Amino acid sequence: MAKLIQAVRRYGPRIELNQTVQIDELAEWISGRTGLNKSELVMTLLELNEAITYFSRRGTPLKLPDVGTFAPSIAMNGVIKVKFRPDTTLRKVVGSPASFVGRIRNQANIGITNEQLKALWDADFPDDPLQL
């Protein structure tokens, strides 16, 4: 019997991600909006990475207004990670369906129930019914 997670992966809505923006493209984009020099922006962005590393290694959260907060955390096994908490405004703007302009696979299935997922799965895979 198929598991619910299999149906969610197949039929659930998913954002189709574009290619990841690299530092040079980001610097060029910011440069075009601000008039700042691209090479100086690359250097500044690299320094931002250094700042996040510096403060995280010391146990100090770093807050970037309208972006979010970077803070170290530790797991039970002692592994230390840097966590990112997006700013509330950023979460609201990006989380608003009206403002999203990217592509969503299976967009028609937004809000679908488990029972509806089961019906889709069972129709496509009658020999492997979905277990709810």
User: How many folded domains does the chain comprise?
Assistant: 1
Residue 130 lies in a domain: no
Residue 76 lies in a domain: yes
Cα 14 to Cα 2, 28, 35, 102, distances in angstroms: 20, 29, 36, 11
pLDDT at 99: 87
Residue 109 lies in a domain: no
Token pair recorded at residue 50: 């250094």
Residue 125 lies in a domain: no
pLDDT at 50: 97
Token pair recorded at residue 48: 């931002």
Residue 128 lies in a domain: no
The CATH number of the domain holding residue 60 is: 4.10.520.10
What's the pLDDT tens digit per position in 85-121? Answer: 999 999 999 988 888 899 999 999 999 999 999 999 9
Q: Which domain holds residue 41?
A: 20-98
Residue 70 lies in a domain: yes
Residue 26 lies in a domain: yes
Q: How do the pLDDT tens digits run along the chain, 132 residues long?
A: 899 999 999 999 999 999 999 999 999 999 999 999 999 999 999 999 999 999 999 999 999 999 999 999 999 999 999 999 999 999 999 988 888 899 999 999 999 999 999 999 999 999 999 998
Cα 23 to Cα 26, 46, 65, distances in angstroms: 5, 9, 20
